[in-house]
Chain A
Amino acid sequence: MRDISIIPLGAHPRDVLLIELKHGIERVLPVECTIHEIPLDIETAFDSSRRQYHSTLILAHLLQQTDLTAGRLLGITPFDLFVPVLTFVFGQAQVNNRTAVFSTFRLHNEFYGLPQSQEILAMRTLKEAVHELGHTYGLRHCQGRPCVMNSSTYVEDIDLKPPDFCLPCRTHLQSVL
């Protein structure tokens, strides 16, 4: 319950971003986080007409791998994600279940024509990761107060919210963690 495996999917550089993410998650949540590089083929989730990956199929793949059978599985990928009816998603998670995946594709400042910033990327990555994990612990979107569970449909929404949970959401987490 308290273990989280960060699983890089696709050509993700094993760089400071992942290490920072691990420490960031451990600061916000009372969990132990490990980075696992397991060979997981997500090419079947690729939609060649949209040139994006179907995030629901990735979640199914994550669940099928047999190396990690306990704890939460958090996929992180540099590729753009989608679900059929939407143009893109930042990430997707199974509410009250084990798996979540998110993409850094739209978290880079360069994507919006702004100067590159490792710091901003790391902060957005952390917020997205914590948000999707929050769903796996049963949290829904939170409104009315600053909280990492505020819903984000634009990268600016991600920048606006804090990387941490508001008091009611944190109280819920404490009851399940």
Chain B
Amino acid sequence: MSAFNPSEITIMIVDDEPSVRESLAAWFEDDGYVILTAQNAAEALQHMQNHTVDIILLDIKMPGMDGLALQDRIREFNTEVIIIIITAFATVDTAVRALKAGAFDYTTKPVDPDELSHLVRNAVEKIRLQRENRALRDSIDQLQFVDDIIGESAEMQKVLEMVRNVAPTDSSALILGESGTGKELIARAIHMNSRRRYFPLIPVNCGAIPESLLESELFGHEKGAFTGAQYRRKGKFEMSQGGTIFLDEIGTLSLKSQVDLLRVLEDREFHRIGGERTVKVDFRLICATNVNLEDEVKAGRFREDLYYRINVFTITIPPLRERRPDIPLLARYFVERHATAMTKVEPEISTEAMDVLLTHDWPGNVRELENALERAVVINKGDVIKPEDLPVQVGRETAGPRSSSLAEVEKDHIRHMLSDNNWNISRTAEQLGIDRVTLYNKIEKYGLKRPA
């Protein structure tokens, strides 16, 4: 399965109006497609002789041979090319005629950008399937788009193996792991290696959205659904049409939201808030959480039926401290990445600094490691990262006796970071590599208090 590249798709735009040809051509060129334009049927047929055309955007009303006649003509010698009719005045009559004669779809001018890109992505997906059927499926186990997932440890290889297994199946997946372990990267890897990869991956951080807004965020609303709703708005489920929706921190959903979610999982349809029309959606669900959902089920805070629905396939990402062999690789990767982004010479990591990195417990996991190294790239002088370039907090607890429990270390670490940042929650969360909700939860869990 080769990665999708728009430059492998040729779109021909057939319209007698120059401004329409130019604006459509420019719009699709931005996506990287190869574009041909034709102002009449004769030009279009000429192109068909000299090029392999994959998609035709066809205007119905043209002087000379009109769009429908041209479609019939093309179909005589080419049954594969995908034809999308774009017309100023679509009558039911012409639309039905066009579809019967083998048009893939039709739409009216002016067209919503979102609708147009959807039509074309649908077409591209069909082309891809056609091409795939023709080609040998020999490289199917080659994972794509995983270069951001770094790890040679057996633990991470196991995770990638599971991604490889679950990606093509379309089944729901549940990703478990502490904050900062890269759950979204794994979700993205599953999505990018599934048949849905040409459609969107929509991440939703359930923990970051206030309960009162969550329903509108997920399902959208109609104009006038509530005070201030002056325009129709798409929800995340609708945006994920054809693709994947990734619900992070699923454990924070209220029981009411759990019922809503269960319903859409069962019916694959819903109503926008204030809407009458049923919206059908085709999506794949990936969830993630850092809490133990089984405990939540036992405590009555999470619906058992929902738990079984989302927990079809589970991938557990180990915390960084359980895959320390990956730290040097990750560290070099982040240093390179941030040095490149800042157009700095890539510094080396001194042996002493690497020792600090290797022994730290990284409660904020990979994200905390990345933040620490980004900072080190900024502040290091010369071309070597030394222990003093690392956040002072790193290694502080490892200097003492190693008898303290992990929780104590974490509590200590968070307290230090908070006081270093003058209890600025956003900044502390960012440096720890966790989100604000998680930080608040930890502050509450450890009973930390801002000094008076």
Q: Which residues of A contact B (CB under 8 A)?
A: 30, 50, 56, 82-89, 92, 95, 110-115, 135, 140-141, 143-145, 151, 153-154, 156-157, 160, 164, 167, 170-171, 174
In the complex, the answer to whether B110 meets A85 with C-beta atoms within 8 Å is yes
1/0 per residue, CB under 8 A from A, across B359-383: the answer is 0000000000000000000000000
The answer for the CA separation of A141 and B236 in the assembled complex, in Å, is 22
On whether the beta carbons of A144 and B234 are closer than 8 Å, the reply is no
Which residues 1-32 of B sit at the A interface, judged by CB distance below 8 A?
3-4, 6, 17, 19-20, 22-24, 26-27, 29-32
Query: Quick one: given A84-B110, A151-B31, A160-B203, are A113 and B230 in contact (CB under 8 Å)?
Result: yes
CA distance A141 to B19 in the complex (A): 22
Distance (whole angstroms) from the CB of B126 to the closest CB of chain A? 18
B340 near A88: Cβ-Cβ < 8 Å: no
B109 at the interface (CB under 8 A from A): yes
Closest Cβ of chain A: how far from B337's Cβ, in Å? 6
Tell me if B239 and A113 are in contact (CB < 8 A).
Answer: no
The residue that A84 contacts in the complex, of B23, B114, B233, B234, with Cβ under 8 A, is: B23
- Interfacial chain B residues near A110, Cβ < 8 Å: 228, 230
Q: In whole angstroms, what is the CA distance A71 to B236 when docked? A: 39
Contact A85 B109 (CB under 8 A): yes
A30 to B343, CA, bound (A): 9
Measured in the bound complex, the distance between the Cα atoms of B27 and A141 in whole Å is: 10
Chain B residue nearest to A84 (CB atoms) is B19
**Size band of the interface chain B makes with A:** 35 or more
Judge whether A85 and B229 touch: CB under 8 Å: no
Residues of chain B within 8 A (CB-CB) of A50 are 110
CA distance A85 to B318 in the complex (A): 50
Q: Is the CB of A156 within 8 A of B239?
A: yes
Which of B86, B202, B340 contacts A170, CB < 8 Å?
B340
Q: Are B111's CB and A85's CB within 8 A?
A: yes
Q: How far is the CB of B71 from the nearest CB of chain A, in Å?
A: 19
Cβ of A83 and Cβ of B27 under 8 Å apart? yes
Known: A86-B116, A87-B112, A111-B230. 13 other contacts (CB 8 A): A84-B19, A84-B110, A85-B109, A87-B110, A88-B113, A113-B223, A114-B228, A115-B228, A140-B29, A144-B3, A153-B116, A153-B117, A157-B200
CA distance A171 to B340 in the complex (A): 8
Check B192 for interface membership: any CB of A closer than 8 A: yes
Interface membership of B221, Cβ < 8 A: yes
B231 CB–A CB distance under 8 Å: yes
B239 to A: closest C-beta gap in Å:
6
Q: Which of B22, B113, B341 contacts A89 (CB 8 A)?
A: B113
A149 CB to nearest B CB, Å: 9
Alpha-carbon separation in the docked complex, A87 to B86 (Å): 13
Pick the contact of A86: B22, B110, B200, B341 (CB < 8 A): B110
Do the beta carbons of A167 and B111 come within 8 Å of each other?
no
Q: Does B145 contact A (CB under 8 A)?
A: yes
